[in-house]
C-alpha cells in the first residue's frame, strides 16, 4: 500500500466517523428539545416572555 492510499483510506474513515457523530448529535438534539424551541429565534422568545428590545 502506498502512502497516498493510506491517507485516502484514513480520510474516508475520518469522514465516516464525523458523519456518524453528526447524525447522533442530530438525534440527541431532536430528543432533548421540542421542534418549537429549535425553530424559534431570540426575538420570538423575548416576545413570549414579555420583554422587548425597544424598552
| Tens digits of residue pLDDT in 1-55 | 899 999 999 999 999 999 999 999 999 998 998 888 888 887 777 676 666 555 4
Assess contact for 29 and 38: CB atoms under 8 A: yes
What's residue 38's pLDDT? 81
Is 49 in a helix, a strand, or coil? helix
Q: What is the DSSP letter of 1?
A: -
Amino acid at each position: 500500500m502506498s502512502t497516498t492510499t493510506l491517507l485516502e483510506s484514513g480520510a474516508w474513515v475520518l469522514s465516516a466517523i464525523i458523519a456518524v457523530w453528526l447524525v447522533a448529535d442530530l438525534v440527541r438534539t431532536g430528543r432533548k428539545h421540542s421542534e418549537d424551541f429549535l425553530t424559534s429565534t431570540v426575538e420570538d422568545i423575548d416576545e413570549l416572555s414579555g420583554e422587548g428590545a425597544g424598552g
